[in-house]
A and B are shown apart, each in its own frame.
Chain A
Amino acid sequence: AQSVTQLGSHVSVSEGALVLLRCNYSSSVPPYLFWYVQYPNQGLQLLLKYTTGATLVKGINGFEAEFKKSETSFHLTKPSAHMSDAAEYFCAVSTAGGTSYGKLTFGQGTILTVHP
């Protein structure tokens, strides 16, 4: 069984400040890890993913995340927040292989607010 915990349902930062959204996962097999972003009235858009290989993953819009197996974490960061980053962010886990690849287990989401 898999699970995802996102610490903090709401995170508020100032424009230009560091963004850190926390995600911890539980998986009995090597996980695939994802961050999705949802802007108002839009679908879930993939920010970045970790499957295998390099543990520091770079995504779109300047975001990156680091897979830390020892800490079972996959925190999302961005050095400098923009107003346009305001959205809801979802961490998700899946396991490799077969159609279960598309069976994502999501965290509860973190709403990011960016203040001028």
Chain B
Amino acid sequence: EPEVTQTPSHQVTQMGQEVILRCVPISNHLYFYWYRQILGQKVEFLVSFYNNEISEKSEIFDDQFSVERPDGSNFTLKIRSTKLEDSAMYFCASTSQGLSGANVLTFGAGSRLTVL
């Protein structure tokens, strides 16, 4: 069964460092998403991406965050200068269509980011 692959599974970084989390969505999917879950809290929407641009973003997704699809297969989340509060599990998700109720998000296993 096709799956969404995320790397790294766990990354530890120092505050202020740049981090890039990588995702390989399912190959025929067109809509891409990042979610995050701070330990003990809800899974939160960060951003959606379609046709090589951000289609929607949450208040959390400030100027420190960026996404791109550099090569047609990878979908990356960059955090420019990490803060302690960025420590969380980050989930990538994709779907083939955004317009149909018959389609669902397929999530990756997540990348755990620890900021020291």
Q: In the complex the two chains form, is B42's CB within 8 Å of A43's CB? A: no
Q: Interface stretch among B13-21, B63-71, B74-82, B91-99?
A: B91-99
Q: In the complex the two chains form, is A32's CB within 8 Å of B101's CB? A: yes
Number of interface residues of B (CB under 8 A): 31
Shortest C-beta distance, B103 to chain A (Å), equals 7
Residues of chain A contacted by B101 (CB below 8 angstroms): 32, 51-52, 96, 101
A25 CA to B21 CA, complexed, in Å: 31
Is A42 close to B, CB under 8 A? Answer: yes
Name the contact of A42 in the complex, choosing from B31, B41, B45, B109 (C-beta under 8 A): B109
Residues of chain A contacted by B6 (CB below 8 angstroms): 43
Q: What mask results when residues 30 to 67 of chain B are scored 1 for a CB within 8 Å of chain A, else 0?
A: 01010100000111110010100001100000000000
The count of A-to-B residue pairs whose CB atoms sit within 8 angstroms is 72
Name the contact of A99 in the complex, choosing from B56, B107, B108 (C-beta under 8 A): B56
Residues of chain B contacted by A92 (CB below 8 angstroms): 43
Is A116 close to B, CB under 8 A? Answer: no
Residues of chain A contacted by B106 (CB below 8 angstroms): 46
A75 CA to B38 CA, complexed, in Å: 25
Name the contact of B104 in the complex, choosing from A34, A43, A97, A100 (C-beta under 8 A): A34
B interface with A by C-beta (< 8 Å): 3-4, 6, 31, 33, 35, 41-45, 48, 50, 55-56, 91, 93, 95, 98-110
> With contacts A36-B107, A102-B98, A104-B35 known, what are 6 further pairs, Cβ within 8 A?
A32-B101, A41-B109, A99-B31, A99-B48, A99-B98, A102-B105
